[in-house]
Amino acid sequence: MELSIKNKFIQKTRAQKSWKDRVFDVAVYGIAILMILSIVYPLWFIIIASFSNPADVANGNVWFWPKEWKLDGYIELLKQDIIWRGYLNTIIYTAVGTLIALVVNIPAGYALSRKDLFGRKWISIFIIIPMFISGGLVPTYLVVKAFGLLDTFWVMVLPFAVSSFNIIIARTFFKESIPETLWEAAQIDGCGTIRYFLTMVLPLSKAILAVIGLWTAVGIWNSWFNALIYLNNENLQPLQLILRRILISNQSLLGTTTGELASELRRLSEMMKYAAIVVSTVPIMCLYPFLQKYFNQGVMVGSVKE
């Protein structure tokens, strides 16, 4: 009975919509579809271009589907043995770096959200300052060198693990989403601060963990500049830096060849360029669907005022 009344009310409400409301709905849906296409199509174009003849791409003959399927770019790219080492390095850097970032930033954000933290205001100012003022590349390099981290595994995961932005986002989440009454109830049951954080706060913070974890993972996965500055050992270099070196080598080789060989190298170079983008992007994109549920909840945290 209640369901039928509800359906009648919905149908009546829809019938009462004016033509202005319908025009507005169409406009909103139209804009949303255009925005989705503007994001999805470039990604799709990169994928189909990686399987297409570069001449067809340059002449505008490839729009939604390859004119002819070619795997030359992927074959040449994956024939490089160092690619697989770079993949392994990047996966390890991303996993370890994300874990360290969560272990450092999440407790710091929770501590700053506590009203009983001594000197909370000054600590917050101390953390916020690096968001606007950086020490610069040379001082950072000297600090990293002084700690003996140059050309080591840890240089990719330790020096940049602390993020002021992530700490502030985590602090806002804990202040707005974790009720103070929960802490009072835990104290009555004899629960200490650390136990309360580990057993009660963290299970309720999956959204912010997913958001900060995804942001950190994407940042580490795409990082190449830090490796360029701090790593000389090829066995420690991540995927992005190796792909960059391969593409630069191909471009340099083009300048030393002529004739049909140059034409073939140019074709392979263009296909490898698109293939490199796909190879380096797809794995991290596959991670997003598993975190989407929590990401949608946590990404709005920064918009909530304190």
Q: Which domains does the chain have, with CATH numbers?
A: 2-70 (no CATH), 73-303 (1.10.3720.10)
Amino acid at 198: L
Contact yes or no for 291/210 (Cβ under 8 A): yes
For residue 89, count CB atoms less than 10 angstroms from its CB and return exposed for 0-12, middle for 13-18, buried for 19 or more: buried
Please count the other Cβ atoms lying within 10 Å of the Cβ belonging to residue 158.
17
pLDDT in tens, 82-123: 888 888 888 899 999 999 999 999 999 998 888 888 888 888
The reported pLDDT for the residue numbered 104 is 93
Annotate 101-132 with b (16+ C-beta within 10 A) or e (fewer).
bbebbbbbbbbbbbeeeeeeeeebeebeeeee
The answer for 191, left when phi > 0, alpha when psi is -120 to 50, beta otherwise, is: beta
| Main-chain phi, psi angles of 118, to 5 degrees | -70, 130
| Main-chain phi, psi angles of 114, to 5 degrees | -80, 130
CA–CA distance, 220 with 192 (Å, rounded to integer): 34
Nearest to 54 by CA among 283, 266, 225: 266
Contacts of 192 (CB under 8 A, 6+ apart): none
Please count the other Cβ atoms lying within 10 Å of the Cβ belonging to residue 155.
21
* 250 band by pLDDT with thresholds 50, 70 and 90: low
3-state secondary structure string across 41-54: HHHHHHHHHHCCCH
Q: Assess whether pLDDT exceeds 70 at residue 6.
A: no
Name the average pLDDT for the chain: 79
Q: Assess whether pLDDT exceeds 50 at residue 304.
A: no
Structure tokens at 208: 């912010």
Across residues 13-34, what is the average pLDDT? 76
Please count the other Cβ atoms lying within 10 Å of the Cβ belonging to residue 91.
14
The reported pLDDT for the residue numbered 183 is 83
CA–CA distance, 52 with 70 (Å, rounded to integer): 6
Cα–Cα distances in angstroms (integers) from residue 195 to residues 61, 63, 108, 209, 228, in the given order = 62, 57, 16, 18, 41
Q: Assess whether pLDDT exceeds 80 at residue 173.
A: yes
CA–CA distance, 220 with 96 (Å, rounded to integer): 10
Give the chain's length: 306
Percent share of the chain, pLDDT over 90: 7
Across residues 28-55, what is the average pLDDT? 83
pTM of the model: 0.76
| Main-chain phi, psi angles of 197, to 5 degrees | -65, -45
Maximum C-alpha span of the chain = 82
